[in-house]
């Protein structure tokens, strides 16, 4: 397995160790420290979480065609990929299900964006597992495929032992519906309930699959397929998609920004920091200022911090460079090189 992320260079979390007694999901030490720090206040607490199920389709048939020890090695690698992908977004592997896992986001480490983290984790796992499946097809001739299901809701946190072993009891259908989504999902797909979809709207690209009659649910449930990363990078982007209220006031602040931009155009580089309490309109002020000048043809490069990426070193710099060179997450390494080379040659022929 790769030791560093191909995109950002971040050192990946150590793979979860797997023993003859079965797979283990020991979290990386930095996550373990967070769990221990909040352990005393967690027992019996109700928490809003997102549950993710993932499993191998047709695992019994695949196991029957393989040597038992060799199949265990294949599954060991599979579980390691799953654990790394869950821990990468500060989720917790709650249990192994024989040919898959149940993972939680939002407990025991609380996250306001637990639904987004679960979906980002699912997308990461789809990429990693697709690569692993292609490797198995080439080497073993095995058609190894994984499906996932995601749902959000309330759970009660039970006791957390010294070894970080945890006991979760779901309230209502939180866990059951996540498992139903996984059982409903097609090969290589991740399905979400409508509740999870409402929490990640804008941040993730979703495909509405319509209503399904799901066992254990009293009414048909609307199901969505996780299709990719959405356009939104913050709450302002989500609000913009729904429609802003009229922008009023902030004349003095806008004059300060306009003056700084004029000085920058004159060759005096400017850096502006906007500070204020949450909700006073900092993001909206920046949006209105940027849109005003973007309409005039001024190039604008936008980056934003997100909670689930805080451990990735220099990510804003990476985002800025991608924006400048017009590189997207979907572009291949070759496409990225060509765009960088073309942009540099336009700047100065000496870059040739």
- Concatenated DSSP letters of 103-163: EEESSSS--TTHHHHHHHHHHHHHHHHHHHHHHHHHHH-----EEEEEEEEEEEEEEE-TT
pLDDT tens column, 89-110: 989 888 888 889 999 998 888 8
Residue 72 has pLDDT above 70, yes or no: yes
**pLDDT value of position 24:** 63
317: which residues sit within 8 A by CB, 6+ positions away? Answer: none
What are the two backbone dihedrals, phi and then psi, of residue 244, each rounded to the nearest 5 degrees?
Answer: -80, 155
* pTM value surpassing 0.85: no
DSSP letter (8 states) at residue 295: T
Options 3.90.470.20, 3.30.70.1230, 1.10.287.10, 3.30.56.10; which CATH number does 18-233 get?
3.30.70.1230
Q: How many other CB atoms are found less than 10 A from the CB of residue 223?
A: 22
Q: What is the pLDDT of residue 8?
A: 46
Q: What does the pLDDT look like over 74-90, one tens digit per residue?
A: 999 999 999 999 999 98
Cα pseudo-dihedral 62, 67, 71, 72, rounded to 10: 150
For the chain, the structural domain boundaries read: 18-233, 245-300, 314-352
Q: How far apart are CA 43 and CA 3, in angstroms?
A: 35
Residue 10 pLDDT grade (very low, low, confident, very high; cuts 50, 70, 90): very low
pLDDT at 141: 86
Reply yes or no on whether the pLDDT at 164 is more than 60.
no
pLDDT above 70 as % of the chain: 80
């Amino acid at each position: 397995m790769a030791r560093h992320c191909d995109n950002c260079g971040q050192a990946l979390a150590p793979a979860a160790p797997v023993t003859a007694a079965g797979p283990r999901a020991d979290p990386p030490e930095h996550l373990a420290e967070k769990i221990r720090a909040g352990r005393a206040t967690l027992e019996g607490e109700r928490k809003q979480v997102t549950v993710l199920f993932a499993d191998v389709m047709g695992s019994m048939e695949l196991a029957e065609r393989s040597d038992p020890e060799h199949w265990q090695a294949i599954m060991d690698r599979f579980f390691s990929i799953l654990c790394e992908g869950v821990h990468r977004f500060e989720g917790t592997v709650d249990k192994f299900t024989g040919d898959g896992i149940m993972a939680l986001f939002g407990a025991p480490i609380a996250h306001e964006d637990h639904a987004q983290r679960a979906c980002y984790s699912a997308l990461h796992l789809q990429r990693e597992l697709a690569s692993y499946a292609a490797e198995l097809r080439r080497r073993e001739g095995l058609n190894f495929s994984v499906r996932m299901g995601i749902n959000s809701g309330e759970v009660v946190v039970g006791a957390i032992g010294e070894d970080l072993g945890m006991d979760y009891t779901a309230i209502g259908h939180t866990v059951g519906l996540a498992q139903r989504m996984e059982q409903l999902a097609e090969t290589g797909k991740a399905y979400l309930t409508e509740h999870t979809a409402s929490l990640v709207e804008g941040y993730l690209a979703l495909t509405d699959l319509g209503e399904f009659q799901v066992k254990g649910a009293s009414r048909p449930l609307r199901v969505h397929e996780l299709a990719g990363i959405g356009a939104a990078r913050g709450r302002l982007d989500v609000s913009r998609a729904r429609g802003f209220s009229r922008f009023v006031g902030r004349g003095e602040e806008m004059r300060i920004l306009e003056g700084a931009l004029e000085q920058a155009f004159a060759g005096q580089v400017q850096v502006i920091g906007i500070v204020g309490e949450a909700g006073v309109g900092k993001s909206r002020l920046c949006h209105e200022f940027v849109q005003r000048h973007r309409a005039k043809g001024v190039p604008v490069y936008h980056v934003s911090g997100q909670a689930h990426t805080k451990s990735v070193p220099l990510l804003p710099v990476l985002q800025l460079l991608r924006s400048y060179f017009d590189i997207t997450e979907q572009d291949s390494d070759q496409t990225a090189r060509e765009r960088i080379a073309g942009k540099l040659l336009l700047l100065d022929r000496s870059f040739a």
